[in-house]
Amino acid sequence: MNRLPFALIMLLALVAILPACRSTQDLIESGDYDGAVSFAVDKLRGKKNKKTEIVRGLELAFSKAQARDLNTVRNLAAVDRPENWERINTIHRQISRRQNLVAPLLPLVSKEGYRAKIEFVDIARLESESREKAAEYLYVCAEDLINQAERGDRQAARNAHRLLKDLESRYFKTYRNKDLLLRDAVNLGTTHILFEVRNESNKILPRDFNDRVLAFGASDLDSDWKAYHFKPDPKIPVDYRVVFNIRQIDISPERVSERTYTDEKEIEDGWEYVLDERGNVKKDTAGNDIKRPRKLRIRAEVLEAFQTKAARLTGMLEIYDATRSARVHVRDVGTEVLFEHYASTFRGDQRALTKDSRARIGNRPLPFPPDSDMLMQAADRLKPNIRDELRRSRAIL
What pLDDT, in 10s, does the model give residues 54-108? 999 999 999 999 999 999 999 999 998 999 999 999 999 999 999 999 999 999 9
pLDDT(17) > 50: no
302 SS3 class: strand
pLDDT(343) > 80: yes
Do residues 54 and 20 touch, judged by C-beta distance below 8 A?
A: yes
Write the pLDDT tens digit of every residue in 155-192: 999 999 999 999 999 999 999 999 999 999 999 999 99
The DSSP symbol for 322 reads T
C-alpha–C-alpha distance, residues 131 and 120, integer Å:
19
CB atoms under 10 Å from CB of 68, counted, come to 14
With a pLDDT cut of 90, the percent of the chain lying above it is 65
Q: Indicate the angle between helix axes 123-150 and 178-189, nearest 10 degrees.
A: 40
Q: Where are the domains of the chain?
A: 16-121, 135-189, 193-267+296-397
85-89, 106-110, 287-291, 380-384: lowest mean pLDDT where? 287-291
Write the pLDDT tens digit of every residue in 220-276: 787 889 999 988 998 899 999 999 999 999 999 999 999 999 999 888 777 777 787
C-alpha–C-alpha distance, residues 72 and 229, integer Å:
52
pLDDT(6) > 70: no
pLDDT for position 9: 52
For the chain, helix (H) and strand (E) counts, in that order, are 11, 6
How high does pLDDT run on average in the chain?
89
Do residues 374 and 337 touch, judged by C-beta distance below 8 A?
A: yes
Do residues 186 and 161 touch, judged by C-beta distance below 8 A?
A: yes
The better pLDDT of the pair 214, 345 is held by: 345
The better pLDDT of the pair 267, 29 is held by: 29
C-alpha–C-alpha distance, residues 365 and 345, integer Å:
11
Segment 297-319 shows an average pLDDT of: 93
**DSSP of 165-181, one letter per residue?**
HHHHHHT-SS-TTHHHH
pLDDT for position 20: 46
pLDDT for position 217: 66
Do residues 206 and 369 touch, judged by C-beta distance below 8 A?
A: no
pLDDT(384) > 80: yes
Going through 147-290 in order, the beta strands assigned E by DSSP cover 191-199, 226-229, 240-251, 255-273
pLDDT classification of 310: cutoffs 50, 70, 90: very high
Q: Which CATH number fits domain 193-267+296-397: 3.40.1710, 1.10.10, 3.30.1490, 3.30.160?
A: 3.30.160
pLDDT(14) > 70: no
With a pLDDT cut of 70, the percent of the chain lying above it is 94
> Which residues lie across from 264 on neighbouring strands?
299
pLDDT for position 8: 55
C-alpha–C-alpha distance, residues 277 and 292, integer Å:
16
Question: HSE of 156 in the Cβ direction (CA atoms, 13 Å)?
Answer: 13
Distance, C-alpha 182 to centroid of its chain: 26
